[in-house]
Structures are given as C-alpha cells and as structure tokens.
Structure 1
Amino acid sequence: MSFFYLIMREKDMGDINVYKKIIEQRLLTTAFQPIVSVKNRKMLGVEALSRGVYNGAPVAPAELFAYAKSSGEILRLERLCRELSLKSFADIKSEMLMFLNFETSLLDTDIAGSGKILNDVQAAGVKPESVVIEVNEDRVKDVGSLKSFISFYRSKGFLIALDDVGAGHSNLNRIAAVMPDIVKIDRTNITDIDKNFYQQEIVGAMVNLSHNTGALTVAEGVETIDEAVACLMLGIDYMQGFYFSKPVSNDEINRIALSGKLEYTAQSFKSRITKEMNDAKLSKAKYSQLLYSVVERLCVCNDDSAVLHDIVAQNKNIECAYLLDESGVQITDTVMNNSLKLKSPALFSPAAKGDSHELKNYYYYAKLFDNDIYMSGDYVSGASGSLCKTISASYTSSDGRKKIICLDIVEK
C-alpha cells in the first residue's frame, strides 16, 4: 500500500467525519437566491439553498449530499435542510414565493405519503400557497409515487416546479408526466445563449411547450446582461442567477438593490426589440426592392434560367433562386451560388425541377397575396445546411402564366 494512498485515505476519512458532524450537530446555514421578473421589475421569490459550515468554512453542498446518500443519511439531511430553510424564510416576513428543493429519490422509499413537508411548512408558520416544491422527475423510479406526491401537495395549495429541465438525460416528456406550474430551465442551456442560435431554438421550444401546457418558465444560471436579454427575447418569464444576485442570508434579502439592474435589463431588452424590428423592416425593404427588380426582368424575358443565374451571380447574399408554378411545383432548376460553402451533399441538396413546394409557407403566402412579398424567419436550408430566410412573390409572365419567384437569402 503506497504512502500516497494512505494520505488520500486519511483525507477521505477526515472529510467523512466532517460531513457526519455537520449532520449530527446541525451545522447548516440557509442562503436565498432571488428569482426575478424583469418585465414586472420585481422579485417573484427566492430559492432556498442549504450549505454545511465547519470551523467557520463552507462545505461543498454536492459533497455533503453525496456523503448523505452513500451513508443512508439523505432523509435526515433533507429534512434538516428543509426545517432550517423554512424557519429562515418565515423570518423574512414577505409575500414572496419560496422555492424548496425536494430530494425526489426519497419517493422510492417508504416515506412516500408521510405528509412531512406539509407538517414542516405549517410548523414554521409559512402558508403552503407561498411554497414551490422543486422536483426532479428523472431521480425517481416509481412515477406513480411521484404523481401521487404532486397531486397531494397541489391539493394543499403548494405549487410544483420541474427542476433542471434540459440537463443531462432529461427530456421534454417530463413536462407531460409532472404537469408543473413552473419549469426551471437548467443553466447548461442558458450559458452563452446569446451567442448560440441552436441553443436559442432549443430553449425557445422548451418555453413554447411550457406555455402551451400552462407552465411558466425560469431560466437558471443567468450570469450576464446579454444572457438575460436573450432569455427575454425567447419569452422566458423569470430569471435566476449571479447577474441579478448571489445567494444571500435572510437578513439581506430585502436589502438587495435589484431595481436598478431590473430597469437596466428592461431598457436593454426594449432597445434590442426596437433594433430587431428596425432591422427586419430595413431588411424586408432591401430584399423587396431586389425581388421587384427580378420580377420586372422575369415578366419580359424568354429565358427564366438566364435571369436567375445572372441575379445569383450579382448578389453574394442570395444562396439560391428558383421558380414555382401556380400549383407549387418547381419549374426551373435551383440555381445555386457557387461562392457559398455547402455542407454534406448526402444530407443537404437543392430541390430539383418538378419537386412540389405546395406545403411551404413561402408558396402559400405568395399565391394568396398577389401584391405582397413574403419573408420567412431564419431556418436551416435544405439546399445547403446554412441558416437562411426565403423571400417570395407571385407575378404574371409574358406568356400569361402565374409564377412564383423564390430567393433563399444568407445574411450571417
């Protein structure tokens, strides 16, 4: 047995003794992190976060809870954290909500249905309507016990939040299983969300699903103004993270100066919205002018393909161009811009002459509104794999046929 092993084993045993003493001697403190609404410029509530303290120094919560699980002390620790958190929250004397973590794996034991949380809340003098129980569905094997747990506490006035959505192996069918009042989107989906289009689309889908099923959303781990604004752009209702406030004691929670930061974030959001609307207006005007100029040429020409090749060659932002007939069938080849880099041809390829576009918005809109131009939002091009948008308009050619011109535009 090596000297290094003996030293590490001695350290591990020392850590275990510390964890044991923390639980036995109730050496825990509670901090509260605000959950805020930028749109309403107020604090919705706080999440209670328990921390072990030994010899005046904090002990990592993850390590403490890992010890408790491995040693069979998780129920004792979970109840101790809850008792202290509720007592501390009651001292705040506020109408805010308290977000209370619950170790969902305990539902696989015989404590399910004990009503202990309700008893603890009432003993602390906290109204059940002020408590949001955070559950993590993928930590429990018995889904039936989880549903019974949620049904019981919801009937007593508690709110239910689904925690860590989008983390690890979690999936969106958890929302249907739990039917939460609040969905908390994990920080792994929020970090750098302002820089990642794909991440924005994923979180946007979570937000839409949550809202469509009657749940509000909280973004966890918001650390910058840009992340906060991106969350607002995606319709997220509430936010939590170090950008707004680190966890603080119950004495400090009502003294946090949030109003300035909330107002600054709201104004930044308004500026972003205004800029995007102006950019969209300018973009549509720019491409409308381009499209009308193409239509003018197509109306009098005898060679549609030559016009399309010429337009694509002259405009580096046009990824491709093609024509449809009145029924949505493509009547030209897709003319591609050879200067743009294409992705795998096995996965992405241009539509061919004779393909149908009758289920596409750019076809229907152009067909129904003769004198208007359609512009789509950004999407992944089936022709190249790039992010693009499609503009389209209908016109009548020199031979009297109604046609639709489509241009795929790449701006980024």
Structure 2
Amino acid sequence: MSAEQQDKTAVAPHGFNMSVTSGLQRYSAPYGDLVLTSVFQPVFSLSHMRAIGYEGLLRAHDAFDRPVPPLDVFGEATRIGEVLQLDRLAQFLHLENFRLLGAEREWLFLNVHPGTLTEPYHTAALLANLQRLDLPPRRVVLEVLEEQAADLDALARAIALLRERGFLIALDDFGAGNVDIGRVWQLNPDIVKLDRIMLLHAAHRADMAATLPALVALLHEAGKLVLFEGVETEQEAQLALSCNADFVQGFFFARPAPGLADAAQTRSVIAEATERFRSQTEARERGTASRLAPYVRAFERAAERLGAGEPMEEVCWNFLGLTHAARCFLLDANGRQAERNVVLRVDRAQHDARFLPLDEAQGANWLRRPYFRAALAAPGRVHVTAPYLSITEALPCVTLSMAVHVGARLCVLCGDIDWISDEPE
C-alpha cells in the first residue's frame, strides 16, 4: 500500500473502528451487541492461475469476542425487520476493507439483498459510496440470490439498469434449490455461481457427474461465465476442471482471510491440480481408445466388405459379435435409413419393452446426428462419437460411422456400441 493510500485510510469512517492485525489494517463496525468486520474469499481463474476477485464475507463477534455465525446475524435482522439496514452496513464495511486490501485490478464480489437493488434509495447509497472511495462500478460484482426476491420482474429491471452503469452481476447459489434455467435468461447475469451442493452430488453420483459439464456448456452457450463455489477437496477441484469451469473458490484453493491471496501458493495449487487433470484425462483417453480398438477394426472390415459389394446383413457379423455391439444400420446421402437395423442377438428387441415404439428405425432420418455429418465431411475413415443417449433404448451409446460407396451410391455405415460407464477402461 502506498503512503498516499495509507493517508487516505488513516481516519476511520464515522461509526467505524480501525484495527491492525498481522500488519493489516481493517475496519470494524458495531451492530447491537456485536462487532462486525470483513474477510475476503478469493475467486480464482483456473486458466489465469491467479485470483481475479475477492468475495466480501461478514464476520461477527459478541462482547466476549466469541464468533457468531453470519447466518444467525442476518436471521435475527430479518426477524426484527432490519435486514436491508444490515445489508447496507455489510456492503459499506466490505467496500472500506476492500480498499485497504490494495487490490489493483481484481473484482469485489459483493453479496446484496434483492431489496437493496430494487429500492432506489439503497442503490443511490451504494453508488455514492463507490464514488467516495473512487471505486468504479466495473470493479464490483453484485451477487444476487434470486430466491429472496419478492418481485422477480422488478429485480430484472433493476439488474438491467445496474449493468448499464457498469456493474457485473452474479446469480448466486444456482442449484441450491430449484435449478431453473429460466431465471438465468430472465435476470441475465454475467456470472452464474454453482452451489456446492451440485459438486457434492456429482462427486457421489455418476449421472450428475456426467450432466454437470453439459450444464456448464449450456450456461456458456447462454453467454454466462461459470463459477464453482465451495470447492473443498481434490476430487471437487478435478470436477471443476473437467466441467470447464471458468472460476473457482473454496477451501481447497484458499480460505477467507483479511488480506490478499498468496500469488505463488495459488499458482502452485492450481498448477498441480491441472497437471493431475492432464494426467488423468490422458489415461482415460488411452483406456477408451484401447476399449474401442476391436470395435473399430471390425467396423473398418465391415465397411470394406460393404464397399466390395457384400450384403449388409453379412458384413456386420464380426462387429456385432463383440460384447457390447448393439446394431448396425445404413444411411443414404440424405441421412435416411432405408432398411431395418441389423441386430445379431435376438434379445436386443426385448431389451426394454417400454421403448418398443422406437425399435423400428426403417424410414427414419438421422440427418441431424453428428456421426452422419462427420462421416460425410471426411469419407473413408471411421468417426467415433462421444458417449450420448441413444434414442432407440434411452441408454448411453457410442456410434461409429464411415462414408462408403455402395455401388454408385455414397452411403454412411453406422454401428452402435452400448457404453457401460462402470466398465473398466
């Protein structure tokens, strides 16, 4: 901190007290029988490998210097009708202490009650404090918990005005209650913070672990940056990396503290986690390639025989004889399937009778499927999809495809493989 900055902070704002702990200046404020102050939880960019922001968190102590949970403080304030006043006090405290941090480029993540944003008086007070502290709105990310909003339309209008003034908006605790993507479109935040509960579910449920990357991808498609909060373990850090999260915060990377994050330690922690992610990803990819190799070889041979004029019903037998091969089918150049699926085992038709209406695929058009388009774009080689949900049986599958000339016609030969996720790779 420069001498000029120290001079500016030498006098505490009215009603605030200044203390120095471990060489760090910070403000505190009385609230009833409590003393309130700030700590800051770093927010890290996994790509930049450094802190790109700090979330202001309230800390409270009673007259005997015993910590009081912030939830209890806000709960009591809500009970006596002072939640907006306490919210403003916490904002004021975080702004003052953020200035003392000496952060030059990082954002301040500031939790705000929706009522603070929809009341012009409270918004004006926030803007006045920023102007007094010479902190531009672009340095502030307003974290909004939409479930607390009494009028969502009014909140959406207020958020739009605040974004016009330069603030960034984060939708907090997404996934903690009802996961409603409609709220994202309505409130149009810049950042969506995924609640820790989603990481906990994904760490213990394979279906959630498979779905979470798709949710992040959907939010990215909607133009939103994604922050995983509450990352506390190595497994959760790896989940964040595998989901392509933009930002993370949590005890695994750094705990809340009065001062700035240790840049060298941050870089080391993220670098080590990223290296483990690279190593694990490469091992999975090698395992998947090894698992698919016999299917690819048999499929290549089937395509070769088909191109040489052998009947479709005969060329696929070696492929379909492999353990998890499900079916083969042939598409014309427009993606239409002229004939029925070729299935070796009789029990395929009765795999799950609930989906029997989808079993007959003759006449279906698979023009929209990536495996069809990929094969036409690069004829003569086998294309392998990522695992996806097969419409035929509503089970995960991988499809092999290859464009091949059958007589004078260009066709696409396809082969489905049941993708048993718990099978060793």
Q: Tell whether the 8 Å contact from 1:207 to 1:234 is kept in structure 2 after alignment.
A: yes
Matches within 5 A, 1:314-393: 314-327=321-334, 328-335=336-343, 344-347=352-355, 349-393=358-402
Aligned counterpart in structure 2 of residue 29 of structure 1, from 33, 37, 51: 37
Read off the aligned partner of 1:382 and give its amino acid letter.
I
Structure 1 residue 220, shift from structure 2 partner: 1.1
Structure 1 residue 100, shift from structure 2 partner: 0.5
Q: Tell whether the 8 Å contact from 2:337 to 2:361 is kept in structure 1 after alignment.
A: no
| Separation in structure 2 between the aligned mates of residue 230 and residue 342 of structure 1, nearest angstrom | 36
| Separation in structure 2 between the aligned mates of residue 51 and residue 338 of structure 1, nearest angstrom | 66
Once the two structures are superposed, residues 114-137 of structure 1 have per-residue CA deviations (whole angstroms, 9 ceiling, x without a partner) of 412122334455443322111123
Once the two structures are superposed, residues 329-366 of structure 1 have per-residue CA deviations (whole angstroms, 9 ceiling, x without a partner) of 24133416568898743247434333332332323333
Structure 1 residue 394, shift from structure 2 partner: 3.1
| Number of the residue aligned with 1:87 | 96
Q: Tell whether the 8 Å contact from 1:334 to 1:351 is kept in structure 2 after alignment.
A: no
Matches within 5 A, 1:233-312: 233-250=242-259, 253-254=261-262, 257-275=265-283, 278=286, 286-299=294-307, 303-309=311-317, 311-312=319-320
| Separation in structure 2 between the aligned mates of residue 52 and residue 340 of structure 1, nearest angstrom | 63
Aligned counterpart in structure 2 of residue 231 of structure 1, from 231, 240, 250: 240
Aligned counterpart in structure 1 of residue 52 of structure 2, from 27, 44, 53: 44
TM-score of the aligned structures, taking structure 2 as reference length: 0.79
Matches within 5 A, 1:34-113: 34-54=42-62, 55-95=64-104, 96-107=106-117
Does 1:211 pair with 2:220?
A: yes
Structure 1 residue 78, shift from structure 2 partner: 1.0
- Structure 1 residue runs of 5 or longer lacking an equivalent are 1-21
| Separation in structure 2 between the aligned mates of residue 153 and residue 342 of structure 1, nearest angstrom | 58
Once the two structures are superposed, residues 134-165 of structure 1 have per-residue CA deviations (whole angstroms, 9 ceiling, x without a partner) of 11233223344324432443344322212122
Q: How many residues align?
A: 388
| Separation in structure 2 between the aligned mates of residue 261 and residue 355 of structure 1, nearest angstrom | 51
| Number of the residue aligned with 1:190 | 199
SS at match of 1:30: strand
| Separation in structure 2 between the aligned mates of residue 201 and residue 311 of structure 1, nearest angstrom | 27
Aligned counterpart in structure 2 of residue 222 of structure 1, from 228, 231, 255: 231
Structure 1 residue 283, shift from structure 2 partner: 6.0
| Number of the residue aligned with 2:151 | 142
| Separation in structure 2 between the aligned mates of residue 315 and residue 112 of structure 1, nearest angstrom | 70
Q: Tell whether the 8 Å contact from 1:224 to 1:243 is kept in structure 2 after alignment.
A: yes
| Number of the residue aligned with 1:181 | 190
Aligned counterpart in structure 2 of residue 168 of structure 1, from 177, 187, 191: 177
Read off the aligned partner of 1:261 and give its amino acid letter.
V
For residues 231 and 334 of structure 1, do their structure 2 counterparts lie closer, same or farther at Cα, with a shift above 3 Å needed?
A: farther
TM-score of the aligned structures, taking structure 1 as reference length: 0.81
Structure 1 residue 196, shift from structure 2 partner: 4.7
Percent pairwise identity: 27
Read off the aligned partner of 1:35 and give its amino acid letter.
V
Structure 1 residue 271, shift from structure 2 partner: 2.6
For residues 111 and 74 of structure 1, do their structure 2 counterparts lie closer, same or farther at Cα, with a shift above 3 Å needed?
A: farther
Once the two structures are superposed, residues 287-343 of structure 1 have per-residue CA deviations (whole angstroms, 9 ceiling, x without a partner) of 43221122244456765335545532x201212223334442241334165688987
| Separation in structure 2 between the aligned mates of residue 393 and residue 301 of structure 1, nearest angstrom | 16
For residues 127 and 295 of structure 1, do their structure 2 counterparts lie closer, same or farther at Cα, with a shift above 3 Å needed?
A: closer
